[in-house]
Structure 1
Amino acid sequence: MMTGPTDFSVLIVDDSAVFRRVLSRGLDAVSGVRVIGSVASAAEARAFLAVRRPDVIALDIEMPGEDGLSFLRDQMARDPIPTVVISALTARGVRITISALEAGAVDVVAKPAGLAPGKVIPDGGFEDIAVRLRSAATARLTARAGQRGFVQPTTAPLPLRPTAPAPAIVALRPDWVIAIGSSTGGVQALTTLLPMLPADGPPVAIVQHMPEGFTAAFAKRLDTLCAMSVREAVDGDALTPGSVLIAPGGERHMRIETEAGVLRARLVDGPPVCFSRPSVDVMMTSLAAAWPARISAAILTGMGSDGADGLLRIHASGGRTFAQDEATSQIYGMPARAWERGGAEDRVPLDQMAARLLASVGRAPPDRALSDPAEFATRPPSRLFQS
C-alpha cells in the first residue's frame, strides 16, 4: 500500500552515523524515495534546510544537545515541514515521541530493532518506513496559535468540557457506545476531540494506529487532559460510562463482545486487516454485531481505508456514523473512503465532532432506523473474520 506522491524527498536527522547510513541505503533502494540529506544534529538540520527543503523529515527524537522535540517545535513555528518521528522504544523516547506528535509531527515509526549487533532489519522493513514517509509527505499541516501563518478558525471553538448535556444523554441511553478510528494525524485529532467529552459520557472504544509500546503512554497523556478516564485496553476490560479504552498497538486486534449483557474488549490474534493491527474495521465490525443500533462512531484523519467497512456495518445496524471533513484532516484518506462507501451520514469538522457524537446519542439516523436490532446480529459475519 503506497499512498502519496510517486516521488518524494527525505531529510534524515539522527545522531547515530550507523542508523543514518543504514536508513539512507534502505530508503534509496525503495522506488520513488530520494534521500537528499543525512545530518547528525538539529544545528546541521537547520543549516541544510536553509539551502534545500525536503518533502518530509525523518527525525530522531533523542539526540544530544538540542533534542528532536525542541527542533521540531522551532521548525513548525518557522516553516512547517511534514515530519515522521523515528523513535527508540525507551520510556523516555516514548514520552518525548507523544509530545512530538502533539507538537505537530505527522507520524511515528519505531526504530528498527534490527540495527542491534548481529541482527538485520526484517524483510519489508524499509518498505514499511517508506509508506509512512510517503503518506506524511502529503499531510496538511495546520499552523498553531503563535506560529507564522496561523489563522484563527472561522468556527467558534467548543467548550473543553460540555458537561451540561451529559446527564440528559446518559440518563436517556445509558447503554450507548462511542467508537472512534484514526491513524496518521490521529494523536492531534484525539487530543482535540476527547477533552470535549464530559466525565459521565458514554464509553468510548478507540483504535489509533501506533507502534507497539506507544499507546500506553498516549493513553496516560490523554488521561491528564480529559474529564473521562482514559487507559490502554486490557483483555476483558468492560466498557463503562465515563471511560475511554484505546486498543494497544502491536500484535493483536481489539474486538468488542458481549458477555452476560456487558460489553468487553477482547484482544485477539489475527493477521493485519487493511495493513493494520489493531484494525479499526475489526473493532467496529465486531461492535456493530454485538451492540447494533446503540453506537455513535467516527472515522478521523489517517491514510488508507481502515474503518470504511466497519463504519458501514455500524451504519447498517442503525448506528450513527460520521467522518472527519477534508479541511480539518491532516490526511484525508480513511475519512474519504468511509464517505465514498456510504458508511458516514455526514462529514464533520474536527472541532465539531464531539458535539455531533454527543447529540446523536439515543437518536436514530436521519435516513434509516433498524426496526429490529436483533436482525442485524443474525446476519452472516463480515468477510473480515472469514478465513
Structure 2
Amino acid sequence: MAGVRPRAVVADDSHFMRSVISDILEDGGIDVVGQAKNGRDAVETVADLSPDVVTMDVEMPEMNGIEAVDRIMSENPTPVLMLSAHTDENADVTFEALDKGAVDFFTKPGGEVSMEMSRLEDQLVEMVTSVAEVDATAATGSEKQTSAPTSSTRTYVENPTLLIGSSTGGPKMVERVLSELPLEADFRVLIVQHMPDGFTERFAKRIDSRSDYDVREASHGDRIGGGEALVAPGGKHMIVSNYRSGRLRVKLTEDPPVNSVRPAVDMTMNSAAEVITDPLFGVILTGMGEDGAAGIKAIKAVGGRTIAQDEETSAVFGMPKRAIETGYVDDVLPIDDIPNGILNTAKAEVN
C-alpha cells in the first residue's frame, strides 16, 4: 500500500552486520521490526512479528540461511532476500536457497563482515523494497510443469534466436523456460540475468543440468549455433557482434552500465536486432526496473516476436510492465505458458 513503510527482519550472525544493514534500511524508509542472530532465531522472529520481508545471511550457526528459508516458507511464507558473500561456495549455497523459496539475493561487498555496505545502500534499499512486495504465498505453490510439443507434432522456423531478460526473481523462471524448450526447436539462446560476477557461471551450469540445451557462461568471442545457450557474465555486457550461417558470435564489454545495470538486457537485444536477419524472439521475465523495454522495441521493429511475463506470476512486475507499456509486446503470459508461447510463435508455416 502506498505510503506504508515495509516491515523487515534482519538475520545475520554478526552483530556489526545486523546494525549496519538495519541502519541502511531504516534510513531508506524500511522499518526494521526485528533482528535474528541465526537461522533458528530468524524462524521464530518471523513467526512472532509477521514482517513483510526478511534479509537472510547465508552462513549462520545453529541453523543456516537455507534451512531457515525452508522453514519460513513452509510455516510462515515471507519474502526472503539472501545476503551472500562473494565466494564460490556461497554462490552454490545461495542458489540452493532460491530453490527453497528465497526471492533473490544481494551480494555483500567485501565478504561476510563487510565494511563497504554503505556504498551499495541505495541498491540494497531498492531491492528489499521490491522483494517486500512479492506474494510469498503464491511462490510456495506447486510449480506446474508443462510438456513441450515434440518434433512429431510441430515444425519450427529455421535458425531462430531467443533472447531472455530477467532480474529479481528471474533465476527460477529462466530455468523453467529453458527446461521446457525442446532441442528440436534449435534455438540459439542468449540469457541476460542481472547477477554479479561469480554467480553467472554457477547459474549457467544449473540451467545446463536442467535443460536439453548446451548452456554455458559467455566468453569473449564465443560462437554458438542451434541447441546452445549463453548466459551473460556478471559485470559485462554481452553484445551480438556477428551472425553468419546460423551461428552467432558475441563479444563482452565493460562499457558503462545501461539502466544502472551491467549486463544489460537492452545491450544484448539491441545488438541482436541490428545483426541477426533470421527469426528473433524476445522474452522479458520478472524483475525490477526498465531494462529490456528498449530491446523489445528493437526486436519488434525488425519483425521479431515478443513476450512478457504477466503480473500475477512475476515476483516483481517492473521489467515486464515497462516492456508492455512500449506497445511492442505481442503476448503477455503467465510463466507456465511462456515456453509454449515461444514455440507457438516459432512454428513454421506449412504450405
Query: TM-score scaled to structure 2, two decimals?
Result: 0.91
Structure 1 partner of 2:164? 180
Structure 1 partner of 2:250? 265
Residue 155 of structure 2 aligns to a residue whose secondary structure is helix
Cα distance between partner residues in 1 of 2:111 and 2:294: 34
Residue 38 of structure 1 aligns to a residue whose secondary structure is strand
Show CA shifts across 1:125-174 (max 9, x none): 11111111011111133546xx6xx4x68xx7421x544359832xx41x
How many pairs are equivalent? 347
Q: Is structure 2 residue 308 aligned with structure 1 residue 326?
A: no
Unaligned runs of 5+ in 2: none
Q: 1:216 aligns with which of 166, 185, 201?
A: 201
Q: Is structure 2 residue 226 aligned with structure 1 residue 231?
A: no
Show CA shifts across 1:221-261 (max 9, x none): 111111111111111111211111110112x2111121555
| Contact 2:39-2:61 at 8 Å conserved across structures | no
Structure 2 partner of 1:372? none
Residue 51 of structure 1 aligns to a residue whose secondary structure is helix
Structure 2 partner of 1:164? 151
Cα distance between partner residues in 2 of 1:236 and 1:362: 30
Cα distance between partner residues in 2 of 1:116 and 1:36: 22
Distance 1:349 1:241, change over 3 A: same
| Contact 2:193-2:232 at 8 Å conserved across structures | yes
Structure 2 partner of 1:90? 87
Structure 1 partner of 2:13? 15
Q: Which amino acid aligns with 1:215?
A: T
Q: 2:177 aligns with which of 185, 189, 193?
A: 193
Q: Is structure 2 residue 127 aligned with structure 1 residue 132?
A: yes
Cα distance between partner residues in 1 of 2:47 and 2:244: 63
Once the two structures are TM-superposed, the CA of residue 103 in structure 1 deviates from its matched residue by: 2.1
RMSD: 2.4
| Contact 1:163-1:199 at 8 Å conserved across structures | no
Q: 2:238 aligns with which of 228, 233, 254?
A: 254
| Contact 1:293-1:317 at 8 Å conserved across structures | no
Distance 1:162 1:141, change over 3 A: farther
Show CA shifts across 1:101-126 (max 9, x none): 12221111111217768x54463x11
Cα distance between partner residues in 1 of 2:113 and 2:80: 25
Distance 1:210 1:69, change over 3 A: same
| Contact 1:183-1:303 at 8 Å conserved across structures | yes
Once the two structures are TM-superposed, the CA of residue 356 in structure 1 deviates from its matched residue by: 1.5
Cα distance between partner residues in 2 of 1:82 and 1:115: 22
Structure 2 partner of 1:376? none
Cα distance between partner residues in 2 of 1:310 and 1:166: 32
Unaligned runs of 5+ in 1: 365-387
| Contact 2:280-2:305 at 8 Å conserved across structures | yes
Cα distance between partner residues in 2 of 1:228 and 1:357: 15
Cα distance between partner residues in 1 of 2:37 and 2:123: 23
Identity of aligned residues (%): 37
Structure 2 partner of 1:353? 338
Distance 1:50 1:80, change over 3 A: closer
| Contact 2:35-2:45 at 8 Å conserved across structures | no
Cα distance between partner residues in 2 of 1:53 and 1:113: 31
Cα distance between partner residues in 2 of 1:357 and 1:120: 42
Query: TM-score scaled to structure 1, two decimals?
Result: 0.83
Cα distance between partner residues in 2 of 1:5 and 1:109: 25
Residue 15 of structure 1 aligns to a residue whose secondary structure is coil
Once the two structures are TM-superposed, the CA of residue 85 in structure 1 deviates from its matched residue by: 0.5
| Contact 2:88-2:198 at 8 Å conserved across structures | no
User: Which shows bigger deviation, 306-315 or 84-93?
Assistant: 84-93
Structure 1 partner of 2:296? 311
| Contact 2:46-2:76 at 8 Å conserved across structures | no
Q: Which amino acid aligns with 1:16?
A: S
| Contact 1:104-1:188 at 8 Å conserved across structures | no
| Contact 2:78-2:137 at 8 Å conserved across structures | no
